[in-house]
Amino acid sequence: MKNSSLGPVNISIIVPVLNEAAIIRRFLQHLRATAPGAEIIVVDGGSNDGTVELCRGLADHIVESARGRARQMNTGAQVAHGKILWFLHSDSCIATNSLKAIENVLADSRIAGDLCVNLFRIALGDRGLFCRRENFLALDGYPEQPLLEDADFYRKLRAVGRVRQIPVTIQTSARRYEALGPVRTSLFYLLIMTLYLAGTKMSVLEKMAGRFASRRQIRTQRSEIYEPVL
């Protein structure tokens, strides 16, 4: 059920969605069970499959936005009431101790945020990035670009404070890897991240990502807006 007694909020969970009717209700029910007291904000990028209707009664706020993960997450941050923002994908599964762990780590004013990172020390969207709302707004949020907006924001976040991994597991569906092919997808992501850290222009990376998605013939609306997720 929607948090009808929503009082002072410490953590706002922001979920960008686009045509997620198959999974969104189960995901929101999962959030309600594992993150009680959090403000849940769903930001829809123009779904036409009934996603918005399925969110009613489970999300505290349902917001419409222009398509694109970065735009949607920035829109959600603007309406959030929590002191802490936590960005999650709708195909994620979080641990029951997640909220407490986030609150504990941010009790240290020197910590800017984080959750869990990969070997590049770059936080990507499916890592469940969190930070203080004041820092997010001061950094002007996510850069509104087609890919690697998470990585760019994370690098800015590291400039304003320490980042710290917390002992919390977050699992994300393997559907993207299954659709594109696990080995090829992993190698492609490795190549993109290496080039990104080497300073390759975003326009070049965008073209590479577009060609990769095209070769694998990903034709769903989700692929057009969200793929490949980096």
* Domain membership flag for residue 166: yes
User: Which CATH number characterizes residue 53's domain?
Assistant: 3.90.550.10
Residue 196 lies in a domain: yes
In this prediction, residue 130 carries a pLDDT of: 92
Q: What is the pLDDT of residue 180?
A: 63
pTM attached to this predicted model: 0.80
Quick one: tokens of 75?
């829109």
Same domain membership, residue 135 and residue 185: no
Same-domain check for residues 17 and 108: yes
Same domain, 81 and 188: no
Residues 167 and 182 in one domain: no
In a domain, 161, yes or no: yes
Please tell me the predicted confidence (pLDDT) of residue 117. Answer: 44
Q: What pLDDT shows up at residue 164?
A: 74
111: in domain:
yes
Range of the domain at 193: 175-222
Structural domains in the chain (count): 2
CA distance 128 to 229: 13
Q: Pairing state of beta strands 11-17 and 84-87?
A: parallel
Tokens at 208, concatenated: 């590479």
Tell me: do 201 and 136 sit in the same domain: no
Q: How far is CA 68 from CA 134, 163, 174, 221, in A?
A: 23, 26, 21, 11
Assigned token pair, 86: 């936590």
Q: Give the C-alpha separation, 67 to 43, whole Å.
A: 10
- Token pair 């980042």: residue: 163
Residue ranges, the chain, pLDDT below 50: 4-6, 117-121, 125, 177, 218-230
Distance, CA of 4 to CA of 139 (rounded, Å): 32
pLDDT at 227: 37
- Convert the pLDDT of each residue in 110-143 to its tens digit: 888 876 544 444 555 456 899 999 999 999 999 9
Residues 69 and 160 in one domain: yes
Together in a domain, 179 and 111: no
